[in-house]
Amino acid sequence: MDQAAVIDHQYVIAAYTVTWVLQLGYLAWLGFKWRAEKRAAERRTRVAR
């Protein structure tokens, strides 16, 4: 029975890991996108000047 509990725990950890990889991965992607937009805006104002 103890072995089962250990494996259960591993599954829970795996689930939380997957959850946070997805969530934080998305935030990271969003960060890159923000940077790209900022750079595009800066390029434009530089060109305009």
Partner 1 sequence: MRPRTKPELFPAQCAGIESAEMKKAAISLYVVVTIALMVWGFYQAMYVAPSDAMQGEISRIIYYHVPNASVAFVFFAVNLIGSIGFLAARRNNPDRAQLFDAWALSGAEVGLIFCTVVLTTGPLWGRRAWGIWWTWDPRLTTTLVLWLIYVSYLLLRRFAAGTQMQTLAAVLGIFGALDVPIVYMSNRWWRTQHPAPVFGGAPGSGMAASMLHPFLWNMLAWFCWGVLVLGLRYRVERKHQENAAEEAREALESRA
Q: For binding to partner 1 (CB under 8 A), which residues are involved? A: 4-5, 7-9, 11-12, 14-16, 18-19, 22-23, 26-27, 30, 33-34, 37-38, 40-41, 44, 48
Residue type, 30: L
Q: Closest approach of Cβ 16 to partner 1, in Å?
A: 7
Least Cβ distance, residue 23 to partner 1 (angstroms): 7
Sign, Cα dihedral of 28, 34, 36, 38:
negative
Angstrom distances, CA of residue 39 to CA of 19, 44, 46:
31, 9, 10
